[in-house]
Amino acid sequence: MKTIVLFFLCAIAAHASVNVLPMSPKIAEPITIEYVPVDADVAWATSSKNFHAVFFAFNRDAEAPVAVEIPLSKSDKRWTGKFTPASDVVYGLIKVGDGIRYDINGEMFWNVLIHDAKGKILRDAHLKAGIAAFGMLPQECRRKQDLEEAEAEMLEEVKLYPNNTAAQVNLVMLQKNNKEIDATEANARLKEIADGTKTFSSVVEAISISQAYKQIGNTEEAMRVMREASSKFPGSKIEEQSKLEELANATNVTAYLHAINVHLLAFPKTFAKQNLLDAAIQSAARGGNMRELVAFLDNTPGISAITIYQAVNYIGANDSLRKDSYRLIDKGLAATSDVSIRPTYISSSEWNEQQRISKSLLYFVKGAILSDEGKDEEGLAALKTAVELGGDQTDKSVYEQYVKTLVKVGRKKEAANIASAAISKGAATQGVFDAFRTLMREQGMDSASAEVELGKLRDQSRKLLARELTRSMLNQPMIDGALTTLDGRPLRISDWKGKVVLIDYWATWCGPCRKSFPAMQKLFEMYRNNPEVTFAIVNVWERGDDRVKIVNDFLKNNPSLTFPVYLDTNDSVVSKYGVTGIPTKFFLGKDGRIQFKEVGYLPEEQFLEESTNRIELLLAQ
């Protein structure tokens, strides 16, 4: 068993349009949403049984929006729906989809600013739009970060409502971040704003004033503001924030788990709930505190199915806790039907799809534990259910465990069929590829014939994956930057415009980077004679002063690596790409836009399969 990073739902790259009518919607008046998909997505929209828009409604004080689901019906080439936002809504984000996939307008969503009866944009509407542009909302409504746009929204808010303290503070911080003012000027303006605000009328305003004082180094005043606001707004985010800070005082894992449990009991709807649950699991896993984790899961109400799945991945590996694992799996399965757990920012359709996948994963881990205990037939029944529930979204590891268990019990023909199905669907891991080859040979097929058969299955998967890959393209604007060759020649990423580009950020000290290079070399060999494909293996974050020597020495010791290596000499380019860990790869289309991103290390065959599919798709555009 292993922990799996999950992406439940697919967002599609789109150039569709959403029209909101009237164009300047007013408080508590009906809004019509018109969606016009691109030609490639008409069939998707037409065939969907649950095509809808999700309107993420933001009011002034709530930390997260409320997701409102609006059914859409087809009229000619448009899909339309109507609803009336609540009277306290000032701003909204829109996406369109069917619960499994969503058109999120190239990660930007569609924006709606609510107006008053006289047609003026409501107070805090631009503020909320700016906060959305920070790119830090929950995954379901997280739009792409654009701090310049965030600044523009804050500026509009201040123009319309000069006394909006929260917008004033955010504007100054953004102007400093965007290097339009220096730290001295920023601190002076923040001090003026904070000192000039004698009382605060809202939670958001109080938090902004506290942040301003923190920014200028006056922690005493920042704490005073939070204390006063906590008293003025009991049960609010401010009171919770002070409690969250107390979690850091826990002296051991047991105390930490207890503190999180107490916090979640006090703030059951906290915006930080999932982060706290993830932290609880990781801290227990690192410390090997599995019994404490079991007790935590038993004593903390409202835990989602996916959280239980993630925990059981660790707990199930402990032989003495198998009974607890089965009991927790049952608790997780029950949680998939508990609508009270659904956060307000997730629509009902999206939540239902997430629960379907969570249920599939719970049956997967149950099957793995049963098989590990020698209860193979029961395990196979659970794994079959996992595949049936997961459908086209079945996790690749489910297929690997299913094939492995079938081989274990001698049902090799069935194992071959499942492996073939996984490969043809583009859902194969390295373990499935290896099992398929072994099973074909055991059926009397020579290695060459097995590879031919494997190639046919891969061709089937590419036809299916082409559509999925097109939908999952990021379509992010080009990020240019200056690199140098090992002999000191300068170049820019924009010089490669017109080609498909694979950028791989790495460092000599990075084990997974080095481990990935044999596969990268093979991929490079496949395309080295194609003038439309460029590889850029970019060295970053090197731990030494003479980066050129360090990289050259590495390449001398690894003469089989002949792919092009470049230097990001001051690590400015990798910073602009927002990389937080290496290896991280980016696939750029011919227009320079970023279309795919891959973080971490994949087994060789899986990497070659997925990378080839991406490159071929980009070449065809």
Domain at 68, CATH number: 2.60.40.10
Position 499, amino acid: K
Enumerate residues 6+ apart whose C-beta is below 8 A from 62. none
pLDDT surpassing 70 at residue 253: yes
| Lookup: tokens for 155 | 């500026």
**Would you place residue 383 in the very low, low, confident or very high pLDDT band (cuts 50, 70, 90)?**
very high
Q: Which residue has the higher pLDDT, 469 or 516?
A: 516
User: For residue 364, what are the CA distances in angstroms to 101, 120, 312, 411, 469?
Assistant: 23, 54, 11, 19, 25
| Residue 167 is assigned to a structural domain of this protein | no
What's the rounded Cα separation, in Å, for the pair 286 and 356? 29
Residue 29: CB atoms within 10 Å: 13
For residue 22, say if its preceding peptide bond is cis, omega within 30 degrees of 0. yes
In tens, the pLDDT along 150-178 reads 999 999 999 999 999 999 999 999 999 88
pLDDT surpassing 80 at residue 462: no
Instruction: Report the phi/psi class of residue 492: left, alpha or beta, with left for phi > 0 and alpha for psi in -120 to 50.
Output: beta
**Would you place residue 286 in the very low, low, confident or very high pLDDT band (cuts 50, 70, 90)?**
confident
What's the rounded Cα separation, in Å, for the pair 149 and 123? 18
Supply the pLDDT for residue 75. Answer: 87
pLDDT surpassing 70 at residue 27: yes
Lowest-confidence region among 201-215, 280-294, 467-481: 467-481
Question: Tokens 């599919």 map to which residue?
Answer: 613
Position 133, amino acid: A
Q: Is the distance from CB of 433 to CB of 454 less than 8 angstroms?
A: yes
In tens, the pLDDT along 295-348 reads 999 999 999 999 999 999 999 988 899 999 999 999 999 999 999 999 999 999
pLDDT surpassing 50 at residue 3: no
Q: Is the distance from CB of 46 to CB of 139 less than 8 angstroms?
A: no
Phi and psi (nearest 5°) for 287?
Answer: -90, -5
Q: Is the distance from CB of 14 to CB of 101 less than 8 angstroms?
A: no
Supply the pLDDT for residue 445. Answer: 93
Name the residue among 1, 5, 64, 2 with its Cα closest to residue 306. Answer: 5
| Residue 270 is assigned to a structural domain of this protein | no
| Residue 556 is assigned to a structural domain of this protein | yes
What's the rounded Cα separation, in Å, for the pair 110 and 94? 5
Average pLDDT over residues 186-207: 89
Output the average pLDDT for the chain.
90
pLDDT surpassing 60 at residue 2: no
For position 493, which CATH number holds? 3.40.30.10
Position 349, amino acid: S
| Residue 80 is assigned to a structural domain of this protein | yes
Q: Which residue has the higher pLDDT, 462 or 17?
A: 17
For 85, the enclosing helix (H) or strand (E) is: none
User: For residue 279, what are the CA distances in angstroms to 247, 258, 321?
Assistant: 11, 12, 21
Residue 476: CB atoms within 10 Å: 17
Burial 350-370 (b: 16+ CB within 10 A, else e): bbbbbbbbbbbbbbbbbbbbb
Supply the pLDDT for residue 9. Answer: 46
| Residue 462 is assigned to a structural domain of this protein | no
Average pLDDT over residues 429-434: 89
Supply the pLDDT for residue 438. Answer: 95
| Residue 555 is assigned to a structural domain of this protein | yes
Q: Computed over its alpha carbons, how large is the radius of gyration of the chain?
A: 27
In tens, the pLDDT along 493-519 reads 999 999 999 999 999 999 999 999 999
Name the residue among 358, 252, 264 with its Cα closest to residue 304. Answer: 358
Supply the pLDDT for residue 414. Answer: 96
What's the rounded Cα separation, in Å, for the pair 108 and 467? 21
DSSP letters along 138-170, please?
-GGG-PPP-HHHHHHHHHHHHHH-TT-HHHHHH
Share of the chain above pLDDT 90, in %: 68
Q: Which residue has the higher pLDDT, 234 or 441?
A: 441
End of a domain among 136, 153, 175? Answer: 136
Average pLDDT over residues 206-220: 91
Range(s) of the domain holding residue 44: 9-136
| Residue 124 is assigned to a structural domain of this protein | yes
User: For residue 448, what are the CA distances in angstroms to 443, 462, 606, 608?
Assistant: 14, 21, 19, 19
What's the rounded Cα separation, in Å, for the pair 476 and 144? 9
Residue 270: CB atoms within 10 Å: 18
What's the rounded Cα separation, in Å, for the pair 354 and 4? 15
Name the residue among 431, 439, 434, 450 with its Cα closest to residue 411. Answer: 439
Supply the pLDDT for residue 7. Answer: 36
Lowest-confidence region among 125-139, 349-363, 377-391, 448-462: 448-462
Of the segments 195-204, 248-257, 521-530, which one has the largest average pLDDT value? Answer: 521-530
| Residue 16 is assigned to a structural domain of this protein | yes
Residue 10 annotated as catalytic: no
**Would you place residue 572 in the very low, low, confident or very high pLDDT band (cuts 50, 70, 90)?**
very high
Q: Is the pTM of this model over 0.95?
A: no
Q: Which of 311, 418, 513, 565 is catalytic?
A: 513
| Lookup: tokens for 577 | 């790409």
pLDDT surpassing 70 at residue 6: no
Supply the pLDDT for residue 60. Answer: 87
In tens, the pLDDT along 313-325 reads 999 988 899 999 9
Supply the pLDDT for residue 467. Answer: 67
Position 203, amino acid: V
Strands 584-588 and 594-599: antiparallel
| Lookup: tokens for 448 | 């060459």
Total tally of structural domains belonging to the chain: 2
End of a domain among 84, 104, 136? Answer: 136
In tens, the pLDDT along 538-567 reads 999 998 889 999 999 999 999 999 999 999
Q: Which of 127, 186, 510, 565 is catalytic?
A: 510
What's the rounded Cα separation, in Å, for the pair 194 and 212? 6
Name the residue among 490, 415, 455 with its Cα closest to residue 608. Answer: 455
End of a domain among 136, 153, 180? Answer: 136
Supply the pLDDT for residue 10. Answer: 47
User: For residue 585, what are the CA distances in angstroms to 3, 218, 484, 582?
Assistant: 22, 41, 18, 8
pLDDT surpassing 50 at residue 13: no
What's the rounded Cα separation, in Å, for the pair 281 and 119? 49
**Would you place residue 190 in the very low, low, confident or very high pLDDT band (cuts 50, 70, 90)?**
very high
Q: Is the distance from CB of 491 to CB of 483 less than 8 angstroms?
A: yes
Share of the chain above pLDDT 70, in %: 97
Q: Is the distance from CB of 42 to CB of 55 less than 8 angstroms?
A: no
Supply the pLDDT for residue 61. Answer: 82
